[in-house]
Amino acid sequence: MDFTLTRRSKVPIKTEYDSLENLYPHNIMMYNLPPTEDIKIEEFEQLALERLKLLRIFEQSTSRNLKFGSDDFKEFVNAEMTREGLKGFLKLCSGNSTKNEAKKESEVQARRRDYISHFILRLAYCRSKDLRRWFIDQELLYFKYKFLALTSSEIKHFLEINRLDYSAISEEEKSEVKDGLYESTYGQNAAKIELTDFYKVHFTEVLDLIKFRKCFIQKGFCYVSSQDFISIISTSYAQKMNVGLESCQRILPEIENDDRLCRLLRSLHKSYTGKDYTVAANQVTPESIDQLSNKSFPLCMRMSHEHLRAHHHHKHDGRRQYGLFLKGIGLSLEDALRFWREEFTKKVDNEKFDKQYAYNIRHSYGKEGSMVNYTPLSCLTIINLSYGAGSTHGCPYKIFDTATLKTKMTSYGISQIHIQEIVNYSSKGHYQLACGKYFEVVHEKPLEAGINHPNQYFEQSQIIMGNREVKKPVPNNPRKRLAGKGLNYTMTENDDDDELWQVAEKEESMFSQKTAFEDDLDLTQINEMECN
């Protein structure tokens, strides 16, 4: 006790804080040099997940078609940050760097987290072109969003720190070119132009504005509003990031020698950070599933359900995908056993079901083996599952061709116009947008959030139908969740989960010994499925 007190005495904090202030002098950083301090592996992990959540919020804003900088955009992003417990980042996004010494420290700490987490994610996102692009896109939005909140003097400070040789033009200079600004500044009225700072830059820095005649230009210099100015700065930032990511990729093999980092970094992009659906809040009975599946199940689960009803069987991944989903919507273990038994015993006898499948179901509810309460699979996981002949799982928008999707949805009574809209998305690889469109068509209501989890789909649907109440968003506390690690694999569900599941499967087969592998070797069933 005493010990902690001395450590927390004023003097060391002061020096630490001072040097931090020097290291991180501004809310917005260009992330020029990688951090050099040592951090614990736990913090490394925490920061990585924090940053990932942050970037996913910006990704969401794009998939919801929110116009950058609009009020809707701000409202959404701020609300999500609060909900995800990203207060520090939110502070950095709201400008007005504080003068209050006490608050200043937390702000500088937030800058530090911002700085380090950025570099951690560089490690995770440098390995492929697609990942790099995703990362840069989201980082740019975050960067621009922070920039948007700056006051004129903060912008000035930022430019000085980064040795960017730009300055806003003076009021006199502005009034000299006023007519030109009014006439030629794209999309802004006179009143707005009065209030905005303008920057004078050489035309070669704003070629896009030149190309489409969107700004006033005189004698080779363009006068750009501070809004357009952001894009100049962010272009150079994006270039820097790109260079940084590429050099990061070169040193990657060295880092991956460390197993602890490697596992985290590799699975990061696919890991699910959304709401935890492990423990269902409501109850669902097996009898209601038929009815629910018609309207409240996303296509993947609706088809899983149909498959089960038609074939009285599901292969391993199919069981996992559908079973965990059902758990997530509130099917209790007892009901699940009853539900699966009813179907499966139409093909196999009770004894075989007990031996081969019941264990598996209890296991997925965390009642057997490693006692892990498994999390329902997210869209990303489902989309990325490998799919082979006879598989009964996966994202239908990805695995089915347009014609199959069309037939399927026509049989559900969806109009051709809507089907076309949906397959337009899926054929371009926007599976989740396709799913969102399907939701809107089925519910005849606009979708508030993009679909990123089948259970979220279900929940939204139930809310719209008035069967469930809108719950007040509870901030997710990442630290708390991480503390529960070992029993609850929500945060890094993917590969870990997969592995655990495999181990459990093995245990299961050892347990039931005799006919352990019969399931997957049952060729008649595969043929039967293909015939259908």
Partner 1 sequence: MKDIQEDQPQTQVEEYDPSILPNVLPIYFKRLFPHKLFYKWLSYGEPTPSSVFVNREISFTIDDDIYIRYLSFENDAELEKEINSKAPNKIDIGAVFSSRPKHHRSTPRMLPVEREIVFDIDLSDYNPVRTCCQGNSICQKCWKFMVVSVKVLDTAVREDFGFEHIFWVFSGRRGIHAWICDPEARKLDNKARSAFADYMSLITFSSDSKSEGEQDTIARVTIGDKMHHSVKRALKIIEPHFEEVILIDQNLFGQENGILKLIQVIPDENARKEAEQYLRKFEGKSSKEIWDAFVKYANSMRTSQSGSVWNRKLKYIVEEVQIALMYPRLDINVTKGINHLLKSPFVIHPATGKVCVPFSAQAVSKFDPNAVPTINQLLEDINKYDEERKDQNSNDDKSNMKEYRKTGMLKGVKVFEEFLRKMYKGIGKDKFDF
184 touches partner 1 by CB under 8 A: yes
CB of 212: closest distance to partner 1 in angstroms? Answer: 8
Give the residue with the Cβ less far from partner 1, 66 or 215. 215
Give the residue with the Cβ less far from partner 1, 17 or 203. 203
CB of 227: closest distance to partner 1 in angstroms? Answer: 16
What's the CA gap between 160 and 186, in Å, rounded? 28
- Give the sign of the dihedral formed by CA 201, CA 203, CA 206, CA 211: positive
CB of 183: closest distance to partner 1 in angstroms? Answer: 5
Give the residue with the Cβ less far from partner 1, 187 or 253. 187
Note whether 355 and 512 are within 8 A (CB).
yes
CB of 192: closest distance to partner 1 in angstroms? Answer: 13
Residue 408 is which amino acid?
K
Residue 94 is which amino acid?
S
Give the residue with the Cβ less far from partner 1, 68 or 221. 221
CB of 184: closest distance to partner 1 in angstroms? Answer: 5
Give the residue with the Cβ less far from partner 1, 119 or 182. 182
CB of 53: closest distance to partner 1 in angstroms? Answer: 36
**Candidates 179-187, 343-351, 354-362, 376-384; binding stretch for partner 1 (CB under 8 A):** 179-187
Q: Where are the beta strands (DSSP E) in 71-138?
A: none
**Candidates 96-104, 184-192, 496-504, 519-527; binding stretch for partner 1 (CB under 8 A):** 184-192
Which structure tokens are listed for 389? 């002949």
Candidates 186, 350, 371, 412: give the one binding partner 1 (CB under 8 A).
Answer: 186
Candidates 172, 183, 254, 469: give the one binding partner 1 (CB under 8 A).
Answer: 183
Number of residues that bind partner 1 (CB under 8 A): 20
CA atoms within 13 A on the CB side of 414: 25
Phi and psi (nearest 5°) for 218?
-145, 130
**Candidates 40-48, 183-191, 229-237, 252-260; binding stretch for partner 1 (CB under 8 A):** 183-191
Contacts 24+ apart (CB under 8 A), 66-75: 68/141, 68/144, 68/145, 69/144, 69/145, 69/148, 69/227
How does DSSP assign 257-319, residue by residue?
TSHHHHHHHHHTTT---S---SS-SS-B-HHHHHHHHHHTS-HHHHHHHHHHHHHS---HHHH
Give the residue with the Cβ less far from partner 1, 188 or 249. 188
CB of 214: closest distance to partner 1 in angstroms? Answer: 8
Candidates 178, 180, 295, 387: give the one binding partner 1 (CB under 8 A).
Answer: 180
- 14 CA to centre of own chain: 37
How does DSSP assign 152-219, residue by residue?
HHHHHHHHHHTT----BPPHHHHHHTHHHHHHHSTT--HHHHHHS-EEEEEGGG-HHHHHTT-SEEET
Give the residue with the Cβ less far from partner 1, 185 or 273. 185
What's the CA gap between 81 and 88, in Å, rounded? 9
Give the residue with the Cβ less far from partner 1, 211 or 472. 211
**Candidates 176-184, 224-232, 307-315, 491-499; binding stretch for partner 1 (CB under 8 A):** 176-184
Phi and psi (nearest 5°) for 185?
-80, 120
As a whole number of Å, the CA-based R_g of the chain is 27
Give the residue with the Cβ less far from partner 1, 179 or 528. 179
Binding mask 194-223 for partner 1 (x = CB under 8 A): ---------xx--xx-xxxx--xxxxxx--
CB of 208: closest distance to partner 1 in angstroms? Answer: 7
CB of 210: closest distance to partner 1 in angstroms? Answer: 5
CB of 56: closest distance to partner 1 in angstroms? Answer: 33
**Candidates 180-188, 252-260, 337-345, 361-369; binding stretch for partner 1 (CB under 8 A):** 180-188
Give strand pairing partners of 200. Answer: 223
CB of 61: closest distance to partner 1 in angstroms? Answer: 27
Cα torsion 267, 269, 275, 276 to 10°: value is -10
* 380 contact partners, CB below 8 Å, separation of at least 6: 270, 272, 452
Binding mask 221-260 for partner 1 (x = CB under 8 A): x---------------------------------------
- Give the sign of the dihedral formed by CA 121, CA 127, CA 132, CA 133: negative
* 279 contact partners, CB below 8 Å, separation of at least 6: 373
Give the residue with the Cβ less far from partner 1, 4 or 204. 204
CB of 204: closest distance to partner 1 in angstroms? Answer: 5
Note whether 440 and 446 are within 8 A (CB).
yes
Interacting residues toward partner 1 by CB under 8 A: 179-180, 183-184, 186-187, 203-204, 207-208, 210-213, 216-221
